[in-house]
Amino acid sequence: MRKFNCTVLLAAAMLLGGCNIFEWPLFVLFGKSSSRVKAEYTGLKNQRIAIIVATGPGINFEYPYARTNVALASAQIIGKHVKKAQFVAQDKIEAFQMENLNWATLPVETIAQKFNATRILYLDLYHFTMHEENSVHLLRGNIRSTARVYEIDGDGKAVYQTEIGVEWPEHGPRPMSEATMARLQMETIVKFAERLARKFHNHKITAK
């Protein structure tokens, strides 16, 4: 198949739009523009990371697997983009949290030593729902969390902190059903994990 010559495309544009083709939006000819965004924190490379997710009793009751699924998705997606990032097995972290109900009061150094981790990625998941606001028949995922990174060779204070929020679907809610609920929950968690991961690797964004 032959490739279009750029001059042919430009000539067609001149015939359709007059001599001054530069009045045309550039995306009409060349597609949407994109820009490169640098990572906000690059210290997860070559590290052993424990992802610790904190959730309140309300979230644990209504979405008992939210904590585990958010951690697993985050580890998988960050691992795809951050060079040589290794993660503590999430079942070990979950068992530790279940066996030590006061784990949230422990110093991060103590938790890190338990898992031989060099970084703690702490997600304070303070909002997690699959229900559209003020509706009992519509579904829409909404996850919000504070994310903190602790370097274990540091002074015990977070070296990086940011807010992560996602609402899905962006265009509007979906009708209620059990199948829709399960699918929506996983889609929303993946969107959340993708947004979190972008904080730790260079990426491109496309102009809308």
* Domain assignment present for 30: no
Residue 156: band (very low, low, confident or very high) from pLDDT cuts 50, 70, 90: confident
Q: Is the pLDDT of residue 96 over 80?
A: yes
* Domain assignment present for 4: no
* Domain assignment present for 57: yes
The span from the CA of 162 to the CA of 168, in Å, is: 20
* Domain assignment present for 25: no
Q: What is the CATH number of the domain that holds 56?
A: 3.40.50.10610
The span from the CA of 172 to the CA of 137, in Å, is: 13
Identify which of 87, 51, 95 has the alpha carbon closest to the alpha carbon of residue 71.
51
Q: How many CA atoms lie within 13 A of 41 on its CB side?
A: 18
* Domain assignment present for 103: yes
Alpha helices in the chain (DSSP H): 6-17, 26-30, 57-62, 66-81, 90-99, 108-115, 178-197
The span from the CA of 151 to the CA of 44, in Å, is: 9
Domain that holds residue 103: 37-206
* Domain assignment present for 14: no
Q: Which of 60-74, 84-98, 176-190 has the lowest mean pLDDT?
A: 176-190
Q: Which of 8-17, 41-50, 59-68, 139-148 has the lowest mean pLDDT?
A: 8-17
pLDDT of residue 24: 42
* Domain assignment present for 11: no
pLDDT of residue 26: 46
Q: 34 vs 27, 48, 121, 199, CA distance in Å?
A: 11, 32, 29, 17
Residue 130 near residue 141, CB atoms below 8 Å: yes
Contacts 24+ apart (CB under 8 A), 130-138: 130/63, 130/181, 130/184, 130/185, 130/188, 132/173, 135/173, 136/176, 137/175, 137/176, 138/173, 138/174, 138/175, 138/176
pLDDT of residue 112: 95
Identify which of 65, 58, 61, 57 has the alpha carbon closest to the alpha carbon of residue 185.
65
Amino acid at 128: F
DSSP at 44: T
Q: Total structural domains in the chain?
A: 1
Amino acid at 149: V
- The first and second tokens of residue 74, run together, are 């985050």
pLDDT of residue 207: 63
Residue 166 near residue 129, CB atoms below 8 Å: no
* Domain assignment present for 21: no
